[in-house]
Structure 1
Amino acid sequence: MSLNQISVPLTKEEAYKLVDAVSELEDMALSAVAYEGPDGEHWVFEATCDEKPDIEKFNTLAKQVLGDDVEFEVAPVPDKDWVAHSLEGLKPVEAGGFYVHGSHDDAPSDENVIPIKIDAGQAFGTGHHETTSGCLAALDLYLQDNTPEAILDLGTGTGILAIAAAKRTELNILATDIDPKAVEVTIENAEINGVLDQIIAETADGFDHPIFAEHGPFDLIMANILAGPLIELAPELIKQAKPGATIILAGLLTRQAEDVIAAYTAQKTTLLAQSEKGDWSILTLKAE
């Protein structure tokens, strides 16, 4: 099968509108996704097709949905062993006293590091991205001086942060995500890492879900998502925090940090630390 991808930069709202429209038509594409572009300003609509995309059909649909013409780009997807390719360069990562590795690598012999086995798959968070390793380092710093009673991993992805917290504490960790697949992956990874009985994994698309009231408020909240959702969620996220709680935020580019910090200081939090890894920032804040 020869795969092709068709893409175009749009606003977030436009990208999701086009994804919804394409997804309703079974014969247009194998899949359609929207994601934040590398510049952090635009979003990208991207569809994968099992043959050369019908540009005219995509143009017509875009005109109907968005009200204007757009300039699609089409590129072939190279033939590769994608499993092998995904593992290339995914060497073990050490961060915050944790040793994150895939099943293709051996666990460490060093007893001073905590192993976490996470394979690349259908959810975000293998430890290789700067935001994830940065969160692990921030978690380690927090646990050096604090003994929390309740921890929330919001937007858990693969469950890596919840698993790390579980391995460092004897607590039950609440790990939530809006994506049911991410929750399935989190449960699988928790079992692989021997902390299944400590991970409470739940699909929750808003703080009105009863799971938050059942297990909160929290001494530590970790949210490695994106700048836009972090800003939007600020008022409700802070309501989940105990007085004096620590909040670790990631998934934001360094140039977006000022806006995220402003959103949370408006909710009466204080910035304790800002670390940078590559183009990304990790924020540690304290609630009043």
Structure 2
Amino acid sequence: MAVDQLTSSPLTKDQAYALVDAVMERDNLALTASAHENEETGEWFFEAGCESPPNVGAFVQLAQQTFGMKVEFSVAPIDPDFNWVAKSLEGLAPVTAGGFYVYGSHEIGPVPGGLTAMKIDAAQAFGTGHHETTTGCLEAINITLKRKKPRRMIDVGTGTGVLAIALAKRTNKTVIASDIDPISVTTTVDNAAQNGVGKQIIALEATGVNHPAIKQNAPYDLIVANILAGPLMALAPSICQIAGKGATVILSGILQHQARGVINAYARQGMVLSQKLQRKDWTTLILEMP
């Protein structure tokens, strides 16, 4: 499959992230979407990886709808022989968050003592531990497990399975890990086995929490969902429906300006905000069901 990189003309940071959110809510418009800052100029750009040729007109129209401004896009082919995974791994140093140590198989240094280690390689699924949404969740998990011992847990939108694996390692209990993407489900199974918790992770392909096994295992004491603000708000009724009394819900993938909307969506379902963690532009929420 030929892949092209599509790059926007200069944007503000908020515009770049808003366009990422808008693109990720559309099916088949892009394979990947991200926002990047040019450290020399301070300008922000939107980038997307697309099957060649990309529908540039659709991106122009979406930008106009999202923030009312015409944006120009340039397209460049991605060399199919270039090892993008290896290149990306060069800058992926181990991550420490919430007492967890997340590293890739390329890391040759010793694992520090006193930390819960997880080997997670870059793959076709989100979650190597490097993004602020993932580190925020790991810290929120650490905070939660210090004050309660959940028996039934689920990670919604599991990606690489990193959060489900973190829960399984810390609690030594079974964790359901669900994702709408079958590649994520396969990746989670592989990562769970690699980290010695293969028998503790139940990986399911599901849209949100719509799966018989998820409903049969409810209610849950701890629910984690690191997705995006829009889907999180849409999932509020169904997530709260499977939450037991006194349950904790950890939500991430939320930009700071989106946090209030997510909090309100869950407050309407009876959830109460317990704690808010902020990492750069991203917010992780810890909510409680009274």
Q: TM-score range by the shorter chain?
A: 0.7 to 0.9
- The alpha-carbon deviation at position 88 of structure 1 amounts to 1.8
Alignment of 1:4-153 (within 5 A): 4-6=4-6, 12=22, 16=26, 19=29, 32-33=30-31, 35=33, 47-49=50-52, 53=53, 59=57, 73-77=73-77, 79=79, 80-106=82-108, 108-153=110-155
The alignment-based identity, stated in percent, is: 44
Alpha carbons of structure 1 residues 267 and 2: separation in structure 2 relative to 1, 3 Å: closer
Aligned residues: 263
When normalised by structure 2's length, the TM-score is: 0.80
Alpha carbons of structure 1 residues 173 and 221: separation in structure 2 relative to 1, 3 Å: same
Which is further off, 2-11 or 147-156? 2-11
Residue 160 (structure 1) aligned to one of 137, 159, 162? 162
| 4+ residue segments displaced more than 2 Å | 1-19, 32-39, 43-49, 77-81, 106-111
- The alpha-carbon deviation at position 203 of structure 1 amounts to 0.2
SS in 2 for 1:220: strand
**2:290 counterpart of 1:280:** no
Q: CA RMSD in A?
A: 3.2
- Distance (Å, rounded) in 1 between the aligned partners of 2:7 and 2:25: 10
Q: Contact between 2:180 and 2:207, CA under 8 Å: does it hold in 1?
A: yes
Aligned match of 1:169: 171
Alpha carbons of structure 1 residues 248 and 17: separation in structure 2 relative to 1, 3 Å: closer
- Distance (Å, rounded) in 2 between the aligned partners of 1:91 and 1:135: 19
- Unpaired segments ≥5 residues, structure 1: 20-31, 64-69
When normalised by structure 1's length, the TM-score is: 0.81
Q: Contact between 1:130 and 1:278, CA under 8 Å: does it hold in 2?
A: yes
- Distance (Å, rounded) in 1 between the aligned partners of 2:20 and 2:145: 41
- Unpaired segments ≥5 residues, structure 2: 9-18, 38-45, 62-69
Q: Contact between 1:99 and 1:116, CA under 8 Å: does it hold in 2?
A: yes
Which structure: larger Rg? 1
Alpha carbons of structure 1 residues 182 and 107: separation in structure 2 relative to 1, 3 Å: farther
- The alpha-carbon deviation at position 77 of structure 1 amounts to 4.4
CA deviation map 1:25-81 (0-9, x unaligned):
xxxxxxx43757679xxx9875242xxx498xx659x99xxxxxx866223246543
